[in-house]
Structure 1
Amino acid sequence: MKKKILYSLLAVSLIGLVLVIYIQAGGNPINKNKAKENLTAYLKETYPDMDYEIKRSVKYVSIDDSYRFRVLTKDPLGVETIYLFDVYNYKPFKVFNDTIHKSRIDKDSSKKLNAQAEQYIKTLLQKKVPEVNQVDTDVEVYNNDATKWTPQLKTPKPILIMLEIDKGNVTKEQMLQQCKTMQELLNNESIDYYMTEAGYRSIVNGEENYEYVSFTPKQKLTISDIN
């Protein structure tokens, strides 16, 4: 009787071990399905006229805790191309690597527009937050039709705005107010951004230290958002 119980426990343990190894190697099958559903919705929204097929083979990438999907596209002439898409293995299962988008970027035009956007936004924010000393953006366009960046310029994707701000002696309450002010300035200009990351720079014991605050256009900032 004891041997049967022991064998049963060993069998259960072995099954559990196999399941753990399977999930670590291939990812959670439930999450994999949710990631595919989110990728399907993303493709329909981003490329509504594209003829595509999500291939069945999916690779789990443990470093990013994500799934790598292969998407087969077909142009009007019937030419087929495979593109890779990466989707996180956790809510909200965000698509974070779109190689179709990357393949279409005009790097030279994007570089020029970034420089213009960074100067415009820096000047805008310094009017009320003079401590802003550096702005970086990731403006990306597909062709060279746009020669000048303005807040009204519509790009394939909303931009990320990264700020470096001298912290000085400001308190967390003052940081919160500054971020609310910058959010209002950006929104009033109708700048199409999906997130702003503000890095408050200070020198501690001779070393650089950063405190980060991130906000989206519609986010209601509170003191809990200040790290």
Structure 2
Amino acid sequence: MDLPVPAQRRLIVGISGASGVVYGVRVLQLLRNAGIETHLVMSKTAELTFAYETPLKIADVKAAAHTVHDIGDMAASISSGSFRTAGMIVAPCSIRSMSEIATGVTSTLLTRAADVTLKERRRLVLMVRETPLHGGHLRSMAALSDMGAIIAPPVPAFYAKPKSIEEMVDHTVGRMLDLFEIDVGTVRRWGEDQDLRARPLKN
């Protein structure tokens, strides 16, 4: 009989239809390499965004996850608080998904799982991908922060001196996973990497 997976070794990964779906698939790949069990739920719009933004096939994205849940399966394991996890990351998180989570009026498994994560006082990280933002967006973000969610837009860290988009994505994703105390080895850390000292800009 298989032993149950410790909660700290299991993470829910949501991928919504916002631009930046590469963040979500990279989260899955890095967590698989780290031996973390992932439960993927992906919106229908996300599948379209993959076609627009990447050469990846949806089958390849799903293959990177341990378990894949259909967006409409409201009876899935991740819809219940009794299913133990370390939390959930939504990468990227669309404004629509964020707004549903903020109100608690959830219409998909992705937003239901995020709502469950909040009610169980587990870590919820939302990589909100939108700009500019109006007052309604900002109020929803503030409400979610008050509920315990972490709003973490995918802002590149130029101090890490990325040499490619891939390096920039990996550093950003690594910083998001730091929030779950998972080190996937992709973060160049200030004060630890000696070549990250500030240098004056040349005229």
TM-score w.r.t. structure 1 length? 0.23
Q: Larger relative contact order (C-alpha < 8 A, sep ≥ 6)?
A: 2
Give the number of the structure whose residues are more often strand, by fraction.
1
Bigger Rg, which one: 1
TM-score w.r.t. structure 2 length? 0.25
Give the number of the structure whose residues are more often helix, by fraction.
2
